[in-house]
């Protein structure tokens, strides 16, 4: 029977890890896309995700006040509102903090990003308060997959929702990048911005759209994490941002499938480390991975070295 317990526990960690990984993956896409197009790490991206989470709490609370309690309807409204607001933040950050520095030495936008990150954190702390914000459970219950002696394996509806929504979004997003004119324009700007401009692509607008897309996915991650943990504060963007960044580097920064894979791996590593070693040191595990990747394989798992045949 011990074998069954061990397997059940393993599978439970796997489900938890997949859920976490989905959230990291959604945030990591924003890092990787922005890096791809302007070769810059948007250190304010974690804060964009945090803003998404706050919009979610506010929206859920408002909907409850308005008496809209049907869960599917509330979810759709909250997701749309969060995407809308958070995308506006993402767009604005690029417009005021990065675009004026285009063509400046690489360090300038990086410092600007760190500044934006601190600004957003303090802005949310001032307007929303520094205390953690709780959210009553929106989706409760779950499915028991396996009931054994002394253990049970289950997946909650929230976990299921997070995993399914993430898979759907990543599929849609991949199609957007590979099949549409906008995705093609983005890839063109990634490879040769000057040439893209010569062909009539509005490079600035394409970069703006990249920030809007990254922020939209981060907003979804913010909504999901709010529902999953039920409590947020103005500081959650920092750690989540760092881990998603780690995920993007692990997968190979600039690579879209890399960000998805990296997010998944970081989520799994964290869940298994928590389960089998220690929950208190799970962040150590994630960042040790970052260091190892940077030392052993700087281009990441799916990244390609920046050497091109010309």
Partner 1 sequence: MSLLTLKGVRTNYGPIEALRGVDVEVNQGEIVTLIGANGAGKSTLLMTICGQPRPSAGTITYEGRVINDLPPHETAKLGIAQVPEGRRIFPRMTVFENLQLGATLADPQHFETDLAYCLDLFPILKQRRDQRAGTLSGGEQQMLAISRALMGRPRLLLLDEPSLGLAPLIIRRIFDVIADLNRTRGMTILLVEQNAYHALKLAHRAYVLQQGLVVMQGGGKELLANPEVRAAYLEGGAH
Q: Give the binding site for partner 1 (CB under 8 A).
A: 181, 184-185, 187-188, 191-192, 194-203, 308-310
Closest distance to partner 1 from the beta carbon of 308 (Å): 6
The tokens of 295 are what? 């030392």
**Contact status, residue 259 vs residue 24, Cβ threshold 8 Å:** no
- Which of 20/201 has CB closer to partner 1? 201
Closest distance to partner 1 from the beta carbon of 116 (Å): 26
Say whether 144 sits in a helix, a strand or coil. strand
- Which of 133/184 has CB closer to partner 1? 184
Radius of gyration (C-alpha) of the chain in whole angstroms: 20
- Which of 162/302 has CB closer to partner 1? 302
Closest distance to partner 1 from the beta carbon of 297 (Å): 20
Closest distance to partner 1 from the beta carbon of 181 (Å): 8
Nearest to 132 by CA among 231, 199, 44: 231
- Which of 13/193 has CB closer to partner 1? 193
Cα dihedral 35, 38, 39, 43 sign = negative
Closest distance to partner 1 from the beta carbon of 105 (Å): 14
CA dist 299 and 164 (Å) reads 29
Distance set, CA 63 to CA 49, 77, 81, 231 (Å): 21, 9, 11, 18
CA dist 100 and 84 (Å) reads 24
CA dist 94 and 287 (Å) reads 27
Say whether 147 sits in a helix, a strand or coil. strand
Q: How far is CA 219 from the centre of its chain?
A: 8
- Which of 69/191 has CB closer to partner 1? 191
Closest distance to partner 1 from the beta carbon of 287 (Å): 31
CA dist 56 and 278 (Å) reads 31
- Which of 47/94 has CB closer to partner 1? 94
Closest distance to partner 1 from the beta carbon of 62 (Å): 41
- Which of 103/141 has CB closer to partner 1? 103
**Contact status, residue 26 vs residue 245, Cβ threshold 8 Å:** no
CA dist 229 and 231 (Å) reads 6
Closest distance to partner 1 from the beta carbon of 304 (Å): 9
- Which of 241/251 has CB closer to partner 1? 251
Which class for 95: exposed (0-12), middle (13-18), buried (19 or more C-beta within 10 A)?
middle
Closest distance to partner 1 from the beta carbon of 175 (Å): 15
**Contact status, residue 258 vs residue 248, Cβ threshold 8 Å:** yes
Nearest to 282 by CA among 24, 108, 77: 24
- Which of 64/203 has CB closer to partner 1? 203
């Amino acid at each position: 029977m011990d074998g069954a317990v061990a397997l059940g526990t393993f599978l439970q960690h796997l489900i938890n890890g997949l859920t976490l990984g989905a959230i990291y993956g959604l945030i990591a896409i924003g890092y990787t896309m922005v890096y791809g197009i302007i070769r810059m790490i948007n250190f304010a991206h974690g804060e964009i995700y945090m803003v998404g989470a706050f919009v979610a709490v506010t929206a859920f609370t408002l909907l409850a006040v308005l008496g809209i309690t049907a869960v599917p309807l509330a979810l759709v409204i909250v997701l749309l509102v969060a995407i809308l607001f958070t995308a506006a933040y993402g767009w604005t950050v690029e417009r005021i903090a990065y675009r004026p520095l285009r063509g400046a030495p690489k360090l300038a936008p990086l410092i600007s990003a760190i500044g934006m990150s601190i600004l957003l954190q303090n802005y949310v702390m001032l307007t929303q308060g520094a205390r953690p914000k709780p959210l009553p459970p929106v989706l409760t219950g779950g499915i028991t997959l396996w009931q054994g002696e002394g253990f049970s394996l289950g997946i909650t509806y929230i976990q299921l929702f997070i995993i399914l929504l993430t898979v759907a979004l990543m599929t849609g997003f991949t199609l957007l990048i590979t099949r549409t004119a906008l995705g093609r324009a983005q890839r063109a700007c990634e490879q040769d911005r000057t040439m893209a401009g010569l062909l009539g692509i509005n490079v600035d607008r394409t970069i703006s759209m990249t920030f809007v897309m990254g922020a939209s996915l981060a907003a979804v991650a913010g909504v999901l994490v709010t529902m999953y943990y039920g409590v947020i504060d103005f500081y959650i963007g920092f750690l989540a941002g760092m881990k998603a960044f780690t995920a993007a580097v692990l997968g190979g920064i600039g690579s879209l499938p890399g960000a998805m894979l990296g997010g998944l791996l970081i989520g799994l590593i964290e869940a298994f480390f928590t389960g089998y070693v220690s929950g208190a040191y799970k962040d150590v595990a994630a960042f040790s991975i970052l260091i190892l990747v940077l030392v052993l394989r700087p281009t990441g798992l799916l990244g390609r070295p920046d050497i091109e045949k010309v």
